[in-house]
Amino acid sequence: MHVTRKHRLARLHQLADEGRWHEVYRQHIFFEFPHEARLGFQLAFMRPFCDPEMAEILVSAGRITSDAQHRGYATAIVLSEIIAEGPEGPRGRRMLAHMNRQHHKFPITPEQMTYVLSAFVVAPTRYIERTGWRPVDEIERIAAARFYDTLGKHMGIKTRHASYEDACRIFDDYEAHHLRPSEDTKLLGEQTTSFLATRLPWPISGIAGQLFSSQVGDDIVAQAVGLPSTSPLARRVSNSVVKARRFALSRLPAPQLPTFSPGQPAGPYRTGYSLSDVEAD
């Protein structure tokens, strides 16, 4: 591991010792594992697609199926704004209020809200554990659990995880009892795969579904959204990319700037965005 990366990891432990858990999580997402976190959040975002009840709500609303790509970027920006500043900061509070308004439009049960909250703790962390350039440290799991516990409190979610291990239990139990294929889950899966295909280079965009299935790494989820079985080629491509990134990143200096800055160009906002732009979507 490059010496600057060792220093950053030591700094994370210092922040944890000081009780600065939000800063640990912010650096975990924007400095340590930005690429893995971005894909991990996509896996968390699609989790409700796999529950027929929640998928029906999303399809009926029409917002995901009408513009999956735009909705994906908008959701990522809202979450990134809250991570960047925390739920208590001015921009974070505003985006949290926007998120709450969106959720209150739909008949989501308390159990479903608890599950979705745990999904954002567990799904990205497990994906980073599988594909990250180094192992996830225990303090990073603790920081993730603490961040979403605070977020859930601000969202009015009464039943929340008590720890990372508790989030895993909630997550796994819910998925074992609720995730299964339906017409709505498969429709949302098609939209997600189409969106991802637009972000892949031409030579491999044709196997986007298989690549996505290999990234998901979960048969229950893959079947629920109608993803194809992972082919040997897709597995080789995916594994080769992970190994190459691990080798390269561990030897490169630690990044000095975060991958996200509030208001930066992102997705459809090619020249940047204001919070009013996000709220209008």
Question: What are the residue boundaries of the structural domains of the chain, listed by start?
Answer: 3-180
pLDDT at 262: 92
Is pLDDT larger for residue 71 or for residue 202? 71
* CATH architecture of the domain with range 3-180: Orthogonal Bundle (1.10)
Joined together, the tokens standing for residue 137 give 């440290």
pLDDT bracket for residue 201 (50, 70, 90):
low
Per-residue pLDDT averaged across 201-214, rounded?
A: 59
DSSP designation for 272: B
In whole angstroms, what is the distance from residue 172 CA to residue 99 CA? Answer: 25
- What are the φ and ψ backbone dihedral angles of 35, each rounded to 5 degrees? -65, -50
In whole angstroms, what is the distance from residue 16 CA to residue 18 CA? Answer: 5
pLDDT at residue 62 is higher than 80: no
pLDDT at 12: 98
Please measure the distance between the N-terminal and C-terminal CA atoms of the chain and give it in whole angstroms.
42
pLDDT at 21: 97
Least confident interval from 29-38, 232-241, 251-260: 232-241
pLDDT at residue 94 is higher than 60: yes
Per-residue pLDDT averaged across 61-81, rounded?
A: 75
Report for 98-107, 141-150, 204-213: range of highest mean pLDDT: 141-150
Least confident interval from 40-49, 71-80, 146-155, 204-213: 204-213
pLDDT at 252: 92
pLDDT at 210: 62
Q: H helices of the chain, where?
A: 3-17, 21-27, 34-45, 52-61, 63-66, 68-85, 90-104, 110-131, 138-154, 164-178, 183-197, 202-205, 208-216, 219-224, 232-251, 275-280
Is pLDDT larger for residue 154 or for residue 104? 154
pLDDT at 270: 87
- What are the φ and ψ backbone dihedral angles of 270, each rounded to 5 degrees? -70, -20
pLDDT at residue 67 is higher than 90: no
pLDDT at 212: 65
